[in-house]
Amino acid sequence: MRLVVPAGGIGGARFLRGLRADVPDAEVTVIGNTGDDISLFGLRVCPDLDTVMYTLGGGIAEDRGWGRADETFTVREELAAYEVAPLWFTLGDRDFATHIVRSQMLAAGYPLSAVTEALCDRWRPGVRLLPMSDDRVETHVVIEDEQGRRAVHFQEWWVRLHAEVPAEQIIAVGAEEASPAPGVLEAIEAADAVLLPPSNPVVSVGTILQVPGLREAIAGKTVVGVSPIIGDAPVRGMADACLTAIGVETSARAVAEHYGPELLDGWLVDDADAAVATDGVPGIEVRARPLYMRDTESAAAIAKATLDLALELRS
Ligand code: GDP
Ligand code: CA
């Protein structure tokens, strides 16, 4: 079986770990969000690709959900001693090595997809991890604070400002001119189903869908998604602030309607939102299931339910 999973960071990675456990023999292609990518200290950092790679490769710091396990922060302390900004973004020593390798390869002219493949040679994530695009796409957020109205990098809004300053607009800069990375459209074309993990619908899945051609290609497949919203709140992080910025209510129903029946065939909501399944969403088959990914086992059960619904809707 061939599956495609467009994914952000933590929500995507944990779902994927469950999917790998549920169907170890499936050929899974992950389309990773690169809108969160940022250049820091002269290095290119790809937080979502790395979260997927480390989580599936067994190197993730499980408690934080990002960065490396058994991490130390000596380089960061030394940078701070030089008063080199930004200090609000934490990179560990082990993690730095990944960004050094990536930046070196990018500088030598390799596209991000080739770099990601090289990094995965070490981590063996058990999936084919492709960036959504080799072209640079960066999510910027328009805010207004004491410094006036301005656009900041998504990471500055998310990490430094904790998404507490309202976002007036969220823009994936460069998305319109970007092309899907090599292999992305082919993987979608060959897929038996596309599964949307409970990734951020705006700045993870939403960004991937903005790469020209991807929304149409995915919509042509059987698509089943998992709600990242349980009981009108995101499970982790501040996805509510992103949804508010695009005028979408923070609820499992509103996210399904935002994706819409043109894209989604099926949608899983948590048992807490069973009313959405009972009342129904026009054009989308909705089922209620426990959707907390506590461990690999619970994530595998969610992945199984997602895949089962996809196969059911496909026939
Ligand atoms: P990020 O790039 O690290 O922010 O990660 P993603 O975009 O992949 O996922 C973030 C989303 O995952 C958030 O909106 C969370 O609500 C959602 N999420 C995290 N853990 C869980 C979980 O256990 N269950 C569900 N249903 N959603 C989750
Ligand atoms: Ca992310």
Q: How many domains does the chain have?
A: 1
- What separation in Å is there between the alpha carbon of 105 and the centre of ligand 2? 22
> Mean pLDDT per 10-residue run, the chain (315 residues)?
98 98 98 98 98 98 96 96 93 98 98 98 98 98 94 97 96 98 98 98 98 98 98 94 98 98 98 98 98 98 98 93
Residue 91 token pair? 């990179």
Q: What is the rounded CA–CA span in Å between residue 115 and residue 181? A: 12
Does 140 reside within a domain? no
State yes or no: cis peptide before 86, omega within 30 of 0: yes
Question: What are the C-alpha distances in Å from 57 to residues 171, 298, 314?
Answer: 31, 19, 31
DSSP string, 44-96: EE-HHHHHHHHHHHT-B-TTTSSSBTT---HHHHHHHHTTPSP-SS---HHHH
- What separation in Å is there between the alpha carbon of 278 and the centre of ligand 2? 32
Q: What is the pLDDT of residue 85?
A: 87
Q: What is the pLDDT of residue 169?
A: 97
- What separation in Å is there between the alpha carbon of 141 and the centre of ligand 2? 14
Does 78 reside within a domain? yes
- What separation in Å is there between the alpha carbon of 203 and the centre of ligand 2? 7
Q: Quick one: which ligand is closest to 229's CA?
A: 1
DSSP string, the chain: -EEEEEE-SHHHHHHHHHHHHH-TTSEEEEEE--TT-EEETTEEE-HHHHHHHHHHHT-B-TTTSSSBTT---HHHHHHHHTTPSP-SS---HHHHHHHHHHHHHHHTT--HHHHHHHHHHHH--SSEEEESBSS--EEEEEEEETTEEEEEEHHIIIIISTT-SPPSEEEEETTTT--BPTTHHHHHHH-SEEEE-S--TTTTHHHHHTSTTHHHHHHTS-EEEE-SEETTEESSS-HHHHHHHTT--SSHHHHHHHH-TTT-SEEEEEGGGHHHHHH-BTTBEEEEE-----SHHHHHHHHHHHHHHHHHHH-
- What separation in Å is there between the alpha carbon of 304 and the centre of ligand 1? 18
Does 45 reside within a domain? yes
> Helix 296-314 and helix 10-22: axis angle, to 10°?
80
Whichever domain contains 67, its CATH number is 1.10.8.240
Does 240 reside within a domain? no
- What separation in Å is there between the alpha carbon of 49 and the centre of ligand 2? 9
Residue 95 token pair? 């993690």
From the CA of 36, give the closest atom in ligand 1.
2
Substitution candidate for ligand 1 out of 199, 267, 269 with most atoms within 8 A of CB: 199
From the CA of 47, give the closest atom in ligand 1.
2
Asked if residues 99 and 80 have their Cβ atoms less than 8 Å apart, the reply is no
Does 288 reside within a domain? no
Residue nearest to atom 2 of ligand 1 (CA): 9
Q: Quick one: which ligand is closest to 238's CA?
A: 1
Domain that holds residue 121: 37-131
Pocket of ligand 1 (CB under 6 A): 7-12, 48, 51, 198-200, 204, 226-228, 230, 234-237, 239, 291-293
Does 242 reside within a domain? no
Q: What is the pLDDT of residue 315?
A: 76
Q: What is the pLDDT of residue 206?
A: 98
Residue-wise pLDDT for 124-175, tens only, equals 999 999 999 999 999 999 999 888 999 999 999 999 999 999 999 999 999 9
Dihedral (C-alpha) 226, 302, 292, 138: value to the nearest 10 degrees? -40
Does 77 reside within a domain? yes
Does 68 reside within a domain? yes
Residue nearest to atom 4 of ligand 1 (CA): 9
Which residues sit with Cβ closer than 5 angstroms to ligand 2, an ion?
8-9, 36, 48
